[in-house]
Structure 1
């Protein structure tokens, strides 16, 4: 298994600030702590660590009392292109960079590194409008200020994609819900991924399995249900939405625990598929409290890469995403925007079995 991504938050914050400085967001001095912490969504202690790192890198000058941190004037001597020659990239996200999934962070870090070296201007924006998929005043202002930018949309919802296409913005979608729209999009098909996980478990003999699905729109849930139903039917398993895709009231520990309690009270599943990293600790804690052994009594798969998989024993089975292929396709589209809209590129993730899945035992099969 690949070692988990463990870049400290202070260093990640320093990397982002360095990119902002090199992109000339600030040219003489940085804003105060309050503004920087609010912008990056980190604590003062984390920001202090980040500024110490930038000082060691000679990006900013050493602190002088309580004065604002000055940017190293030697940076201005770099042979950067003039503003009129500079190409621009805007990354629009539902969350701050440090709060995005591991795979998305890896992809964006490699993409921004590549275009920083090419002298592109890069901006990163996140807000509630984008998270809700409801374009409003903030998104309209970005459209007015950045009409000629390439836009990378992170997991955009249908209405956001539709609005951007109507405004004829040059968008590239990293995941998302395009439905019948056909923007340039690179992704792993989520419904196919979940069906693949189910298929792998069924081939090990598991017929009672459930997917812990959260943070999905009604359209997305319907698509997943249709894919899963097709997979189960292929193996002569009757699809029950309340069992195979149980409703989870809220995306928190209590709701997940209540869902697990109901499942195991009715007909204990022999396999679970998790869709969010925080579900791992809930499932493992629940199993420990009930004396359920993984994988002897329950096989378990998480369909994402996570920071802390090595912390769990047994190591959860998970999917590894083709980061290099994501980066290659996005960079190609950013530099040479497709003239014919209809650029869906669906990639495949590979199952890393870990040690949390096993063939079903005869005792469980006969229950």
Structure 2
């Protein structure tokens, strides 16, 4: 079982202790403090802080001097009588995104408030084209009662919805799926952004991405204004929609070098935070000024974006609405509540400017 990192060792240990109680490993009392410290390779003070957190979360009764910590019977009864396990599936790309990691942890916490278990698995959605057997093994391994997909492909979602109740955060969702899901229409968001860049004089807009399985290329090329006027292009229209097959630093730095020489873009749209870092490093090396020589926009919120110089312009997803919808799904008894479409909020900063040829 993989867990996203929490802020402190005490918080991590508290979560582990709660999971052991949920699993029925400890039913009446906890082992002594020294036993727990040795079991989890931490010092007794960390154990003490963790136990305070577990008590605050309602899993333990108030401590009694020189007595073993007693497990709260009411929480134990909830778990024994109605065990529900959520299987969270997300991609390796999303695993690198600190914002996504924080959101998944918050969703895990929401689920855990109801006295239930969460198991997280990193999955290559693009690699497993026919995921039926693989997904079934994951469901059986974790005794899952429901599945949460984060940016999964349509095929994965279709297979999952035929097994268990499903909640989807983005990915290949459609209005007709009998699941609970929330996302935005990529085509409308990318069309708005390209029109915005066109209005600022950008006629060689480059779009870079990795994931081959979300229909991204088709949606970008369906926007008539992409990448700009044909007579100003340095190649075919489709050349400006660049997919990089391997998500490796050397591969991406080589791609920037090759495609900038060939296509000479005035604006670049990226989809992942680490690709953004790669682009900024390339521009610094080549002496390309942002935004004087090149405008840069991210389609995802990048936690380190404000540390860049200049700060990145990005699309902000309304995660609070998604968390509330997820909570509503849990309280409904995991009934399919349908698809909710949301709009992204564009946070414009110093990385967006007029095309170089418009400057005096």
TM-score calculated relative to the size of structure 2: 0.76
Query: Structure 1 residues 91, 193: closer, same or farther in 2, change over 3 A?
Result: farther
Q: How far does residue 296 in structure 1 lie from its aligned partner after superposition?
A: 0.5
Q: Is the 8 Å Cα contact of residues 129 and 135 (structure 1) preserved in structure 2?
A: no
CA deviation string 1:66-96 (max 9, x = no partner): xxxxxx9536136314334435240322358
User: Which residues of structure 1 form unaligned runs of 5+?
Assistant: 1-7, 37-46, 62-71
Corresponding position of 1:58: 51
Q: Report the number of matched residues.
A: 330
Q: C-alpha distance in 2, partners of 1:270/1:205?
A: 9
Moved more, 170-179 or 21-30: 21-30
Corresponding position of 1:109: 105
1:170-249 mapped onto 2 (5 Å cutoff): 170-178=165-173, 182=177, 183-217=179-213, 219-227=214-222, 229-232=223-226, 240-249=236-245
Q: Is the 8 Å Cα contact of residues 305 and 319 (structure 1) preserved in structure 2?
A: yes
Query: Structure 1 residues 243, 138: closer, same or farther in 2, change over 3 A?
Result: closer
Q: How far does residue 351 in structure 1 lie from its aligned partner after superposition?
A: 1.1
CA deviation string 1:100-146 (max 9, x = no partner): 533433333333333433x3212213154767445366632454477
Query: Structure 1 residues 245, 342: closer, same or farther in 2, change over 3 A?
Result: farther
TM-score calculated relative to the size of structure 1: 0.74
Q: C-alpha distance in 2, partners of 1:266/1:295?
A: 20
The answer to whether 1:123 aligns with 2:113 is no
Q: Is the 8 Å Cα contact of residues 205 and 268 (structure 2) preserved in structure 1?
A: yes
Q: Is the 8 Å Cα contact of residues 99 and 303 (structure 2) preserved in structure 1?
A: no
Q: How far does residue 216 in structure 1 lie from its aligned partner after superposition?
A: 3.1
Q: How far does residue 327 in structure 1 lie from its aligned partner after superposition?
A: 0.6
Q: C-alpha distance in 1, partners of 2:122/2:347?
A: 34
Q: 2:278 aligns with which of 261, 268, 282?
A: 282
Q: C-alpha distance in 2, partners of 1:97/1:271?
A: 23
Q: 1:330 aligns with which of 303, 326, 330?
A: 326
Query: Structure 1 residues 54, 112: closer, same or farther in 2, change over 3 A?
Result: farther
Query: Structure 1 residues 59, 186: closer, same or farther in 2, change over 3 A?
Result: same
Q: C-alpha distance in 1, partners of 2:353/2:92?
A: 37
The answer to whether 1:353 aligns with 2:348 is yes
Corresponding position of 1:43: none
Q: C-alpha distance in 2, partners of 1:16/1:95?
A: 22
Corresponding position of 1:344: 339
The alignment partner of 2:166 has SS state of strand
Q: 1:163 aligns with which of 156, 159, 162?
A: 159
Q: Is the 8 Å Cα contact of residues 204 and 360 (structure 1) preserved in structure 2?
A: yes
Corresponding position of 1:264: 260
The alignment partner of 1:281 has SS state of helix
Q: C-alpha distance in 1, partners of 2:161/2:251?
A: 37
Query: Structure 1 residues 148, 57: closer, same or farther in 2, change over 3 A?
Result: closer
Query: Structure 1 residues 342, 85: closer, same or farther in 2, change over 3 A?
Result: closer
Q: C-alpha distance in 2, partners of 1:112/1:273?
A: 31
Q: How far does residue 271 in structure 1 lie from its aligned partner after superposition?
A: 0.5
Query: Structure 1 residues 177, 12: closer, same or farther in 2, change over 3 A?
Result: farther
Q: C-alpha distance in 2, partners of 1:328/1:123?
A: 18
Q: Is the 8 Å Cα contact of residues 91 and 154 (structure 1) preserved in structure 2?
A: no
Q: How far does residue 159 in structure 1 lie from its aligned partner after superposition?
A: 2.7
Corresponding position of 1:4: none
Q: How far does residue 256 in structure 1 lie from its aligned partner after superposition?
A: 1.8
Q: Is the 8 Å Cα contact of residues 215 and 251 (structure 1) preserved in structure 2?
A: no
User: Which residues of structure 2 form unaligned runs of 5+?
Assistant: 55-66
Could you say what the CA RMSD is over the residues aligned between the two structures, in angstroms?
Answer: 3.9
Q: Is the 8 Å Cα contact of residues 11 and 50 (structure 2) preserved in structure 1?
A: no
The alignment partner of 2:243 has SS state of coil
Q: C-alpha distance in 1, partners of 2:132/2:349?
A: 44
